Amino acid sequence: MTLSAETETFTIDELAERAQQWLAEHGLDAHYYRRVQDAPSERTIRYYRTHGLIDEPIKAGRERRFTRRHMLQLVAIKALQTRGLSHDRIQAELYGRTDAELEAIVEASLPRARAEPPPVIVLKEFALAPGLRLAADPATFAKATTHDRAALVARFEAALDALADGHDQGEPHS
């Protein structure tokens, strides 16, 4: 997970902007989850700092600078909010965590890519007689050889015989 360089520092504005961008790019933005109020603003960051959710920023003269750790903490807070955790619970979860542990919390909250949906199969249905229908995948039967067709006819005849005799010798339906 790449949030920023180890030694890079940010103003509170830059931290808020980068966190908003990272959250949106990774699917943890407020618009997706709706339980998360907003992407973090300066005001939100100050609130988190006051309540001990984010470490004290580094003082550089009159300016306060935020680091990669602050970014990790901020993203971890938002990640835990997507799970519905309260600020008290989030504080308990994050207190004393190392950077690696914060990264693991964030990684565990990222939405997973969905598997490709199965291919759509369009069946063509034929009414052969009252009470008797044949459903087939045209793409499959387009490749059938003369031998394949003969085997299907034999299986069809066997199924008809089983129906006439009152036996269920066909293959199970799914």
pLDDT single digits (tens) 75-110: 999 888 888 788 899 999 999 999 999 999 988 888
Task: Tell me the C-alpha to C-alpha distance, in Å, between residue 90 and each of 40, 47, 48, 62, 156.
Answer: 15, 14, 11, 30, 64
Q: Note the pLDDT of residue 174.
A: 44
Q: Note the pLDDT of residue 103.
A: 92
Q: Note the pLDDT of residue 38.
A: 60
CB 5 within 8 A of CB 68: yes
Q: Is pLDDT of 45 > 50?
A: yes
pTM: 0.59
Q: Is 48 exposed, middle or buried (0-12, 13-18, 19+ CB in 10 A)?
A: buried
- The band of 171, judged by pLDDT with boundaries at 50, 70 and 90, is low
Q: What percent of the chain has pLDDT over 90?
A: 38
Q: Give the DSSP letter of residue 32.
A: H
- Give domain limits for the chain: 12-109, 124-165
Q: Note the pLDDT of residue 168.
A: 60
Report the chain's mean pLDDT, rounded to a whole number.
83
Q: Note the pLDDT of residue 117.
A: 73
Q: Is pLDDT of 20 > 90?
A: no
Mean predicted confidence (pLDDT) in 64-72: 93
Q: Is pLDDT of 167 > 70?
A: no
Q: Is pLDDT of 24 > 50?
A: yes
